[in-house]
Each structure stands twice: as structure tokens, then as C-alpha cells.
Amino acid sequence: MPGRNAQEWMRLSLRTPGIFIFGLVLAPCGWVLNLTATVAPNWRTLDDIPNTPSNEFIEQGIWDICRSVTTSTSSTCNLEDSVYFGNQIIEVARGLMVASLVVTLLGLAVAIPGIRCWKERPNWVIAGLGGILIFISGVLTIIPIAWYTNILDDITTVTPIVTVEVGYCIVLGYIGGIFEVLAGFVMFVGICRCCGGKNRGEVRVTENVRSRFSARGPTPQPRRVDVPTLSRSPAPSSVPYIRDTLDDDISFPRAKSPAARSANTSYSGRPYDADL
């Protein structure tokens, strides 16, 4: 039930899951390496060719053959070799390498709409299907590369074969194919929820609530405070006093009474005009 799953599981953040980031980084890198391995004419190198200078060698690919020298960066390409291009591995490698490039682009086009990070939940099914296509493209690259490497010395050509060395296209093809296989597999893992939802960056709602309460710790009990009671019972004292004076309000000072006039009203001084 989709509603039940939405209630039981929740995303920890709106960021793109790590498995998709991993796949989106490796897949384009693998595609660039496979493209280089497809178009570059260096699947194998022929050295020590008779009747040629010692610094001259021939590079053979699946689309072109070039003659180069070690003392210069320039090379002569578009050499004819019908025997070499007539081998079965050449036709198979051409088809599979081109198919791998197309399938990788198709897989990225399918996976990207499902990985949109501005949505609350990615479309795991669509992203997983894109991962399957990327995985298949990696397999399509590894098959011709491994086959060509296995029969490296047995591929016939009109050029006398003396010393055969693996070209850099084989190395790039292996690395690119492995990148795409890993990227597709990791992205496909998102279809099924595993490892407690960590592959999707999710957690159960009940576990999330439980972890929050455990992080806060036990609820502290309210501290009991003893409030002292106000009693009017007088404390024993050595100074004598009247008990009734304790009930008088002494919060405000009392007004002073006017001073008593003197009883002697006789005045012996000289009178003033104001006194008349």
C-alpha cells in the first residue's frame, strides 16, 4: 500500500541520495572514456616491423590504422588493411562500442527525471531503470574489450607482426566499462529498500520518534521545594518587650509629633511694630 509506506518511512533530507550522486558521477566519466576508446586508433601497437626504421610503429584501432614515429607527434592515418578490418572481432567491437555509447546516453536520460532533488521523494523505479540501462552499457563495452585482448596476438593483418603491445584504448575501455557497471548497479539498488532504508536516505517514522526521545534522555522529575511558613510566634529573647507591640505595623515610619511649646510666655525683649 503506497499510503502505508509513506507513513512508515520518511526522508531524512531533500538532498539527492548518495547512490544517485555516485551513479551520476561515474556514468558520464565512463562514457567519455568509452568514447575515447571507440574513436582512437590504438587498440594495439605493432613494433619492430621488418624493413622499417626502429623508431616507427603502427597503431591499429577498430576504425583506423596510423603509422607513427617515436621522435615526432605527427602520424600518418587512413592506412589500408583489408585483412585486419576483415576479422570478426573488428565488426563486433564496432557495433558493441557504438551501442554502449547510445545506451549510456539513454540511461542517463531516463534516470535524471527520477533523481530530481527538488521533489520530496525521488522516483525510484524510473531511476532504477536508468541504472539498468547504464549497467548494460558497461557490459557492452567490456565484452569487445575483453575479447580483443584475449586474441590480441591472433588478429591477422597484412603488416608483419613482430611485437604486439596493448594500446591505451584497451585500458580506457576497461576503466570506462567498470565505471558504468558500478554506476548502474548502485543506481539500481534504489529500487528495493535495503539496509534499513539507508540506501534511500530514509528511516522509519517509529525509529525516528524513538531516537528523538532517547536523545533527549529521561524526563526529569520536578524538584520539590520546601517553602518556609511564616509564623508569628516570637522567638525567645533576653530583651523585655510587650507582646502587643508585635502586631503593630512597622512597615512605614510614624510622623513626628509637633514639639511642645514652652509654658513660659513672658518676653523681656523690645517689642516690634508687627507685634502691636
Region 35-59: what's the mean pLDDT? Answer: 88
The confidence score (pLDDT) of residue 50 equals 83
pLDDT score for 1: 36
Give the pLDDT confidence score for residue 35 in this predicted structure. 95
Q: How confident is the model at residue 274 (pLDDT cuts 50, 70, 90)?
A: low
* Closest-CA residue to 135 (of 16, 30, 18, 21): 30
Contacts 24+ apart (CB under 8 A), 107-113: 107/27, 107/131, 107/132, 107/133, 107/134, 107/136, 107/137, 107/184, 108/24, 108/27, 108/28, 108/31, 108/134, 111/20, 111/23, 111/24, 111/187, 112/24
Question: Other C-beta atoms within 10 Å of 19: how many?
Answer: 22
- Please give the average per-residue pLDDT across 204-212, as a whole number: 52
Q: 202: pLDDT confidence band, cut at 50, 70 and 90? A: low
For residue 242, is pLDDT > 60?
Answer: no
How much is the mean pLDDT over the chain? 76
Pairwise pLDDT comparison (144 vs 200), residue with the higher score: 144
The number of beta carbons lying within 10 Å of the beta carbon of residue 68 is 19
What pLDDT is recorded for position 259? Answer: 58
Q: What is the pLDDT of residue 134?
A: 94
Which tens digit of pLDDT belongs to each residue from 75-93? 888 888 889 999 999 999 9
Q: Summarize pLDDT for 141-196 with one digit per residue, the tens.
A: 999 999 999 998 888 888 887 888 999 999 999 999 999 999 999 888 867 655 44
Which of 21-25, 202-206, 267-271 is the most confident on average?
21-25
Mean pLDDT score, 37-53: 88
Q: Is the pLDDT of residue 261 over 80?
A: no
pLDDT score recorded for residue 2: 42
In this predicted structure, what is the pLDDT of residue 4?
45
* Per-residue model confidence as pLDDT tens digits over 17-42: 778 888 889 999 999 999 999 999 99
pLDDT score of 5: 47
How confident is the model at residue 93, as a pLDDT? Answer: 94
Q: Which domains does the chain have, with CATH numbers?
A: 44-207 (1.20.140.150)
